[in-house]
Amino acid sequence: MFLTSFRTASPAYRSASAFERVLDEALQLSFAPSPHERLSLVNLYATEDAVTLSVQLPGVDAGSVSCTVLNDRVSITANRQSPVPATPKASSPQDLPAPTSEVVWHRRERSDEAVSRTIVLPYPVESEHTQASLHDGVLTVTLRRREADRPRRITVSAA
């Protein structure tokens, strides 16, 4: 009880505690995803032979996705376009009018800008054996582990 009261009353303890809070906030901000990264959520799992990641890319077609692999990093870039017809019409919710001075947007939460993520993999992969597919707005990339980096079972013999 006395020790707790001393700590909270001590100016040195209050300064250290304030510094800890500032440091915690700074670290949380530095590791937080950027606004572009928040738009593309990633799941990643690994086996002994391969690593698979799936990226949510709603509203993106396969032609606008770029995927590059280097050692243990995968970079994915995609251009997202909202469906804007050539002439404004309101026949269905999917038909959005072009943003002109005649249109007043009341809510526009989907961004048309490029989405980019670089993911560090748990181990180096063979880029020539990479498979990627986009289905229902989810990009799935499977990358094979390098043969030299795969774990090997060693048999132990009795001496």
Strands (E), 8-83: 42-46, 50-56, 65-70, 73-79
Q: Look at residue 82 in the predicted model and tell me its pLDDT.
A: 63
Count of other CB atoms within 10 angstroms of residue 115: 23
Q: Look at residue 87 in the predicted model and tell me its pLDDT.
A: 44
Task: Tell how far CA 150 is from the center of its chain.
Answer: 26
Containing H/E element for 9? Answer: helix 2-9
Q: Is the pLDDT of residue 86 over 50?
A: no
CB 126 within 8 A of CB 64: no
Distance CA 114, CA 102 (A): 26
Residue range 56-65, pLDDT digits in tens: 988 888 899 9
Q: In the structure encoding, which two tokens stand for residue 120, read together?
A: 């560090």
Residue range 90-128, pLDDT digits in tens: 445 555 555 555 667 777 776 677 888 899 998 889 888
Q: Is the pLDDT of residue 138 over 90?
A: yes
Q: In the structure encoding, which two tokens stand for residue 83, read together?
A: 């469906």
Going by the DSSP 8-state scheme, the letter that residue 18 receives in this structure is H
High-pLDDT (> 90) share of the chain, %: 21
Q: Is the pLDDT of residue 85 over 60?
A: no
**Which amino acid, one-letter code, is at 146?**
R
pTM: 0.59
Q: Is the pLDDT of residue 147 over 70?
A: yes
Q: Is the pLDDT of residue 139 over 90?
A: yes
Strands (E), 25-71: 42-46, 50-56, 65-70
